[in-house]
Structure 1
Amino acid sequence: MHIGFLNPQGNFDSANSHITKHPDFGGQLIYVKQVALAIAQMGHKVDIITRQIIDPEWPEFAETFETYPGVDNVRIIRLPAGPKEFLPKEFLWPHLVADWVPNILKFYQQEGGLPDAMTAHYGDGGLCGVLIEEETGIPFTFTAHSLGAQKMDKLEVTLENLPEIDEQFHFKYRIIAERLSMNRSAVNITSTRQERFEQYSHRAYHGAADVNNDQCFAVIPPGADSSVFGVQVRSQNEEATYEFIQKRLVRDIADLRRDLPAILTASRLAPKKNLLGLVQAFAMSQTLQERANLVLLTGGLDEPLHEPADNDFIEDAVLAPIREVVEENNLWGKISAFGLPDQDQETLAATYRFMVKRRSVFALTALYEPFGLAPLEAAVAGLPVVATKNGGPSESLRQGDQEYGVLVDPEDPADIARGLERLLCDAQEWEYFAQAGQQRVLKMYTWESTAENYLKLIEQIVSSPEARRRAELLPIHPYFRNPKSQTDVSLEELGDLYFGSNQKVLTNAD
């Protein structure tokens, strides 16, 4: 079978350049790459179709074709869309319609045939799946990864601030594109049941997809790469990573505490990740302070507890409140924060293995986590996990009464502290959760199982067209047929969907 992965934003290359260093890159690209590689290893032909960028600041993404070393049947195909330089994902919409989709169709026409099916990722990839299917009849699955309405909720969008926020994020295009994608896809793929029933049932998507229709949805969780994060694996920079971490602990941790276990977290510096709640939990528990140090992995920031971040929002919303708690509770010498020297999975995996040797614990205390791949990767490496009960971890780390990780209320620092104390104060509990979490992930959450489920679903769609769902199709908005026309998506349309009709969006004209 021949499968195309539609992923216009970010980019792919064999060296995984920038994959964790830009908002348009990150977990979504890792997901697409891993599923594509796993499907290819099963003997199928896979194209990862993305946007060509010809820009001195982004030299990795200029060539039309690239492959991954040692993989014969996966191609990275980069095709132009609008200006040659890099564009943030929020500004790609008109260029996808006017350039990228026509270039995809032209490319495959010249090759002599289209893929058997497409799988579309994020709202922009989904929109392209809609347009390609309408032109060719090629079916597609839609994997949103995240939905715009939830981001609007987190930004606390109101009728009054909608024009200003939309000017930056272009939600008016994203919401319409997501509605079309989930309405016209053969199947919507979610990582959890909670994502299906909570995120897709948002009022902004009413009438687009029926969350109660099992033909419309398939839950396929992503996986952790045991070939990278496995406890017995050794990366090329294993010892160098160990030495680097030890130097940072010497820099930040008091002499007599350096061999203690760590409460380790690794996440983006975003308020929703709730690093502050974790620091507050550590500050309020004398038991935790006696038994462990707190270690925050902070992306590209090497000393964020002492040096301000270049990003004012991160500085004011995340780091300044953490420093205040550290200062008020005199946590100096008990807490370390730094970025790893190489922002790649191999270095992160080596860090986890270093921390396992000290009988450490991994913590994810996000206010809400749609899936939560990070704790599963930590579990594969042998770290027991304390994770938020809000979102994906409630499914991956618990089944009925069986626990594979300790779930906590992220809005209650005392509950976070209790969860951490449970593992750090009882050697048997640490051993149980280290083994149970690892075995759970290796059995249920691997990229091979993700790819097998994708492939099974796509084979059903291709072989049995009559089995595809028959929903009432939403009309394609005129803007997405011709962005150069005079018909744009209006804020009033977005307001009607997000807030409900009969609400008045305030615009400059008012």
Structure 2
Amino acid sequence: MSDLIQAVLNSDERTNLRQFASQLRASEKRYLLRNEILAAFSDYCSHYEQSEQFQTSSRLGKLIYHVQEIILDGNSLCLIIRPRIASQEAYRLLEDLTVEPMSISDLLDLRDRFVNRYHPQDGDVFEIDFQPFYDYSPAIRDPKNIGKGVEYLNRYLSSKLFQDQNKWLDSAFNFLRLHHHNGHQLLINERIQTQQALSQQIKTALQWLSDRPDDAPYEQFRFDLQTLGFEPGWGNTALRVRETLGLLDQLIDSPDHQVLESFAARIPMIFQIALISPHGWFGQEGVLGRPDTGGQIVYILDQVKSLEKQLQEDIELAGLDVLNIHPKVIVLTRLIPNSDGTTCNQRLEKIYGTEDAWILRVPFREFNPKLTQDWISRFEIWPYLETFAIDAETALRAEFSGKPDLIIGNYSDGNLVAFLLARKLKVTQCNVAHALEKSKYLFSNLYWQDLDDKYHFSLQFTADLIAMNAANFIISSTYQEIVGTPESVGQYESYKCFTMPELYHVTSGIELFSPKFNVVPPGVNETVYFPYTRTDDRLLGDRDRLEDLLFTLDDPAQVIGKLDDPSKRPVFSMARLDRIKNLTGLAECFGKSKALQEHCNLILIAGKLRTEDSTDHEEISEIEKLYQIIDEYDLHGKVRWLGVRLAKGDSGEIYRIIADHQGVFVQPALFEAFGLTILEAMISGLPTFATRFGGPLEIIQDKFNGFYINPTHTEEMAATILEFVSKCDQTPQYWSDISNRGIERVYSTYTWKIHTNRLLSLAKIYGFWNYTSKEDREDMLRYTEALFYLLYKPRAQALLTEHMQR
């Protein structure tokens, strides 16, 4: 039994537990989540005049703190307890305080009963369990180390080398011998036939190199090394070659995880990368703010530029310029024939600022021209992904003149396509979820049947299970994206155990302690987003044009609202108009606070202005709601709502103009997996207020370089902003202090150089791990394939049939 429950039952607080349980049974609520449980316990403490210390520090208070859900089943209470991060237990509490542990299957059956979807007479529901397939993999023990998978994996691999040196060194030798590019053998040639010979030749080469000047270029001694069995790839100078060979020599003689990581980072094994992002409008201009199109476009394009630059640097350092090797990066997305003035109908588009990086667009097959000629919502895209992957394989092979060395999936749809491609091409697969819809939509799995005609969660969650388990490694922007906080469940953690009533039960959907998880936060494009104080880098013409747009331009086609007093401090936000981004919540917060209105104006850049211009049901709903809020709180003269699509350079200057006016940036999302706009605002110098639900908790240090807000409590959110504004009015230096600390935070932690160095290092280590354990992974991959063909594909075909009838 849980120690938390046992502690209560062994104390005089048993009576309090019985009273609290009785109070819950008497309420109308039958399914309570954590915030509701805490509120109910607070009500109980008030009713029975319990002290604040009892509420927070008693044995019962500690138990209640860790209870994530309570389901009332007849007269018994089912308690789902999360005693620690990434751990869950379920118990049934009877009226006499008897406690019975519940199995996962029992818990999932109970949830099915709650929504009247439990039919034992029809037999058991299909059960998905990935746990047996993680036996091949080492497991992290301490939850604090989740998200540091590569560090753990390096220690594990080096210990294996030490325990069974011959086997693992043979694997390492064979792995090195594999490497070639464009017909050129790399690293070692046929003169070295065994790992014993490799070890001896390394020592011979090191002795020979000891007399060479450190800066001697590789070309001068290339053929001398070749006769010893070493091909290009070890370094571009004598010093670099000595260092790399020295790391391998050290690894052979005395394995060490840090040496392994340093050596693996130098192996030239990645030259061509494919990034997969099918949904939305993927382009370089005129797309931001369209449905399904926002931060992921910025993220991927910035990532591509940094990846190409880093790959080129790595190639030069490895001495491979003697072979005229150059990197190539391709973003694979969907071609949209009716492109609405964008470049999304172009098959191939060069990415600005790169030498050989491209957007490759592959069309969906013509199943139904009425649909496939146009943009398709990310919720409706599923029937087209399998054939898209088939066609994309041919296109990628043609563009790469071969196959990529690494495939990076983005979002649920991109990760599924990445799985299909990586499986076929036999290359390393990396997943980036950015955001998982399951966490964003409350009870989306439990009520999937009611939501499926609109959101098709049955397809999306199945795709997520397949892709996240098949991936060689997963990068997240934050730790809590994986396993949440002590108070909240992480996005990936929510896939550990859940039910899709009448479809399947997931008893173990993901191994959270697997070393495949790594936290690698993104960076900011420093050429576009930089501090407002760098006036020499700002273009005067852009500043004047955008200043007019933000504060004074009278153009009903682009702007709603004229400010009575443009000199007031601007409260600024910029996001898509959808429910999760919650710009309407910020408008309501502003509308409810007369004090905030006295000090500030509200300026929003938020997609379209009129419902007739949108085809996205969520955006239409939010547009209507924003108009209603402006009217209800009489915000005319106090709000500017800009329905514009900004060029990337303009968005950077917009932040800086708001900073010129000593404004603030507010990110009010109900949930935010990471929050690139937060980094953009902070590096521009804007004091930033961001949701406490999700990734911003790891970016911002509250009240030091930014502020947390609770977007579900509008009065509290207004009070937090108002407190800052009032303090700035009293002490003008306070605005600059927060501004400067925000800038420092981004430069120290969130740059693309840091990101891509880490990403490529991970890809090399996991490539090695994938090679050495591929036989052990095959059973997992077969299982994911079975789920694809038996669960995903029939539902995708049913949705396609529905599309054909439209």
Q: TM-score range by the shorter chain?
A: 0.7 to 0.9
Give the conservation status (yes or no) of the 8 Å contact 2:477–2:520.
yes
- Among 440, 460, 472, the alignment partner of 1:174 is 460
For 1:207, the equivalent position in structure 2 comes to 508
- Give the Å deviation of 1:394: 0.8
Q: 1:279 to 1:77 in 2, by over 3 A?
A: closer
- Among 598, 603, 607, the alignment partner of 1:290 is 598
- Give the Å deviation of 1:47: 1.6
- C-alpha distance in 2, partners of 1:168/1:476? 26
Map 1:45-444; keep pairs closer than 5 Å. 45-55=328-338, 57=340, 60-83=343-366, 85-88=373-376, 89-105=378-394, 107-108=396-397, 112-153=401-442, 159=447, 162-163=448-449, 165-197=451-483, 198-202=490-494, 203-204=497-498, 207-213=508-514, 215-230=515-530, 231=532, 232=534, 233-234=537-538, 237-248=542-553, 252-253=561-562, 255=564, 257-301=565-609, 317-340=621-644, 342-398=645-701, 403-426=704-727, 427-444=732-749
> Quick one: which amino acid aligns to residue 739 of structure 2?
A
Give the conservation status (yes or no) of the 8 Å contact 2:339–2:374.
no
Q: Spell out, residue by residue over 1:452-498, the C-alpha distance to the aligned partner (whole angstroms, 9 max, x if none).
A: 2222211222345357796661623558459998x44799xxxxxxx
Of 470-479 and 354-363, more deviation after overlay is shown by 470-479
Q: Spell out, residue by residue over 1:401-439, the C-alpha distance to the aligned partner (whole angstroms, 9 max, x if none).
A: 773211122222232122212321122331211111111
- C-alpha distance in 2, partners of 1:149/1:395? 21
- Give the Å deviation of 1:137: 1.9
- Among 308, 328, 344, the alignment partner of 1:40 is 308
Q: 1:268 to 1:315 in 2, by over 3 A?
A: closer
Q: 1:463 to 1:58 in 2, by over 3 A?
A: farther
Q: Runs of 5+ in structure 1 lacking a partner? A: 492-510
Q: Runs of 5+ in structure 2 lacking a partner? A: 1-270, 313-326, 367-371, 484-489, 499-505, 799-806
The SS at the match of 1:434 is: helix
Give the conservation status (yes or no) of the 8 Å contact 1:49–1:79.
yes
The SS at the match of 1:348 is: helix
Q: Spell out, residue by residue over 1:342-378, the C-alpha distance to the aligned partner (whole angstroms, 9 max, x if none).
A: 4233222222222112111111122222112212211
The SS at the match of 2:435 is: coil
Q: Spell out, residue by residue over 1:286-328, the C-alpha distance to the aligned partner (whole angstroms, 9 max, x if none).
A: 4322221122222232xx7xx9986795688535555555445
The SS at the match of 2:604 is: strand
For 1:22, the equivalent position in structure 2 comes to 291
- Give the Å deviation of 1:107: 4.5
- C-alpha distance in 2, partners of 1:419/1:484? 46
For 1:496, the equivalent position in structure 2 comes to none
Of 270-279 and 40-49, more deviation after overlay is shown by 270-279
Give the conservation status (yes or no) of the 8 Å contact 2:481–2:673.
yes
Q: 1:81 to 1:338 in 2, by over 3 A?
A: closer
Q: 1:186 to 1:265 in 2, by over 3 A?
A: same
- C-alpha distance in 1, partners of 2:549/2:285? 22
Q: How many residues align?
A: 476
> Quick one: which amino acid aligns to residue 298 of structure 1?
A
> Quick one: which amino acid aligns to residue 296 of structure 1?
L
> Quick one: which amino acid aligns to residue 365 of structure 2?
G
- C-alpha distance in 1, partners of 2:425/2:654? 47
> Quick one: which amino acid aligns to residue 411 of structure 1?
T
Give the conservation status (yes or no) of the 8 Å contact 1:67–1:76.
yes
- C-alpha distance in 1, partners of 2:599/2:516? 49
Give the conservation status (yes or no) of the 8 Å contact 1:361–1:423.
no
Task: Using structure 2 for the length normalisation, give the TM-score.
Answer: 0.54
- C-alpha distance in 2, partners of 1:11/1:271? 20
- Give the Å deviation of 1:448: 2.8
- Give the Å deviation of 1:254: 5.3
- C-alpha distance in 1, partners of 2:624/2:391? 48
Give the conservation status (yes or no) of the 8 Å contact 1:130–1:184.
yes
- Give the Å deviation of 1:264: 1.0
The SS at the match of 1:435 is: helix
- Give the Å deviation of 1:4: 1.3
- Give the Å deviation of 1:218: 0.8
> Quick one: which amino acid aligns to residue 575 of structure 2?
S
- C-alpha distance in 1, partners of 2:339/2:616? 27
Give the conservation status (yes or no) of the 8 Å contact 1:157–1:165.
no
- C-alpha distance in 2, partners of 1:254/1:92? 41
Give the conservation status (yes or no) of the 8 Å contact 2:291–2:616.
no
Q: 1:37 to 1:272 in 2, by over 3 A?
A: same
Give the conservation status (yes or no) of the 8 Å contact 1:97–1:481.
no
> Quick one: which amino acid aligns to residue 96 of structure 1?
L
Q: Spell out, residue by residue over 1:10-50, the C-alpha distance to the aligned partner (whole angstroms, 9 max, x if none).
A: 3544x434233132x22222211111111101214212122
Q: Spell out, residue by residue over 1:230-287, the C-alpha distance to the aligned partner (whole angstroms, 9 max, x if none).
A: 12342563321112223248984554x2211111111222233333443343344443
- C-alpha distance in 2, partners of 1:254/1:52? 41
The SS at the match of 1:50 is: strand
- C-alpha distance in 2, partners of 1:259/1:106? 54
The SS at the match of 1:60 is: coil
Identity of paired residues, percent?
Answer: 24
Give the alignment's Cα RMSD to 1 decimal: 3.3
Q: Spell out, residue by residue over 1:38-80, the C-alpha distance to the aligned partner (whole angstroms, 9 max, x if none).
A: 1101214212122334446467234433212341121222234
Of 378-387 and 72-81, more deviation after overlay is shown by 72-81
- C-alpha distance in 2, partners of 1:110/1:221? 29
Q: 1:19 to 1:297 in 2, by over 3 A?
A: closer
Q: 1:134 to 1:335 in 2, by over 3 A?
A: closer
The SS at the match of 1:416 is: helix
- Give the Å deviation of 1:150: 2.4
Q: 1:170 to 1:290 in 2, by over 3 A?
A: closer
Q: 1:437 to 1:104 in 2, by over 3 A?
A: same
> Quick one: which amino acid aligns to residue 456 of structure 1?
S
Q: 1:468 to 1:424 in 2, by over 3 A?
A: farther
- C-alpha distance in 1, partners of 2:762/2:672? 26
The SS at the match of 2:640 is: strand
For 1:502, the equivalent position in structure 2 comes to none
1:4 aligns with 2:274: yes
- Give the Å deviation of 1:200: 0.6
